[in-house]
Amino acid sequence: MPPRPSPERFSTGVLNVDKGPGETSFSVVNRLRRLTGAHRVGHAGTLDPLATGVLPILFESATRLAEFALKLPKTYVADIHLGFVTATDDAEAELEAVADPSRLTAQDLETALAEFSGRILQQPPAYSAVKVEGKRSYRLARSGDATRPAPREVEVYASEMLDFQPGPNAVARVEVRCGSGTYLRSIARDLGQRLAVGGYLGRLVRTAYGPLTIDDAVALDELKTADAVRDRLLAAEVILPEMERVKLNVEQAAQVRQGRAVRVLPEPAPGPVRAHDAEGRLVALGHTDPLRRTFVPEKVLS
């Protein structure tokens, strides 16, 4: 293992990682923490061990932006296997036959999939980290407790069938663009239920997370040193939703870092605002106070 650099020397930013199969999101964070020696490392948007694709890793002050990153849309390509269900709604559990899907056509799949767009009620999988009466659902499921998470509203911006292999082991490959909290395992389960044949999730790839795409992602095995990670870091604001940007001079930046409101020109429109210093570095997120005509910091980055 390469020597750990001094923690204070590592940079703030976002690393677009292409997570491999079998790894947990937490293990990716741990590997990068050991490699870089950074004080703070986190991720935005958990991927299950079987899933692959874009996993944003946040370093140092960028970890404070995770709550904003979760608001970005995500795009997935998923293989939905029909004719069977599993306890976990994916390929990690034993298959239980429901009905022969041989009768299904591509048109049947497209018609059913169209119902999974817009704001929909979705029940999270029994084996998920969602809390039920203060306990993780997967812990309840493992103990034999039949209690399931309550349905909740999620948003699917678009869903499209990319390919369909008919027959007794039918598989539909779909692309789904959705908001935070959407479970592709639940879509697979519910699509199978809608078609009266059962369904579970097989291969899952997150191909995009906001502006981050899998084509630009880097595999962990390609990163051998802290400098290699640093060279691939993106600016922290890449994971922020659209916000108006204001520029601070040196004096204003110092005041904002102390949590003080400042007047900036031109005056930003009402709404969320991000403030950058004279060198373009993100200093803080906040809002405008129209009465005092100031930028008010809410979350300050060092």
Instruction: Give the DSSP H/E element, type plus range, for residue 275.
Output: strand 272-276
* Nearest partner of 91 among 62, 53, 122, 48, judged by Cα: 48
Active-site residue list: 48
- What is the spatial distance between Cα 68 and Cα 101, in angstroms, rounded to a whole number? 41
Instruction: Give the DSSP H/E element, type plus range, for residue 36.
Output: helix 25-36
**Residue 233 in tokens:** 């870091």
* Nearest partner of 158 among 171, 180, 174, judged by Cα: 174
Report long-range pairs for 139-143 (Cβ below 8 Å, ≥24 apart).
Answer: 141/87
Helices (H), 114-249: 137-142, 184-194, 226-231
Report the percent of the chain where pLDDT is more than 70. Answer: 96
**Domains with residue ranges and CATH for the chain:** 7-71+211-239 (3.30.2350.10), 74-206 (3.30.2350.10), 244-300 (2.30.130.10)
* pLDDT tens-digit readout, 227-259: 999 999 999 999 988 888 999 999 999 999 999
- What is the spatial distance between Cα 297 and Cα 56, in angstroms, rounded to a whole number? 25
Q: 103-107, 122-126, 129-133 — which is least confidently predicted?
A: 129-133
- What is the spatial distance between Cα 68 and Cα 180, in angstroms, rounded to a whole number? 11
Peptide bond into 266 cis (omega under 30): yes
* pLDDT tens-digit readout, 189-230: 999 999 999 999 999 999 999 999 999 999 999 999 999 999
pLDDT at residue 59 above 80?
A: yes
pLDDT at residue 78 above 60?
A: yes
Can you give the pLDDT at residue 6?
A: 41
Confidence of residue 3 (pLDDT cuts 50, 70, 90): very low
Can you give the pLDDT at residue 273?
A: 92
- What is the spatial distance between Cα 16 and Cα 215, in angstroms, rounded to a whole number? 10
Confidence of residue 44 (pLDDT cuts 50, 70, 90): very high
Segment 62-75 mean pLDDT: 92
b/e map of 216-245 (b: 16 or more CB within 10 Å)? ebeebeebeebeebbebbbebbbbbeebee
Confidence of residue 7 (pLDDT cuts 50, 70, 90): very low
* pLDDT tens-digit readout, 127-158: 887 887 777 887 877 877 767 888 999 999 99
Tell me which of 169 and 3 has the higher pLDDT: 169
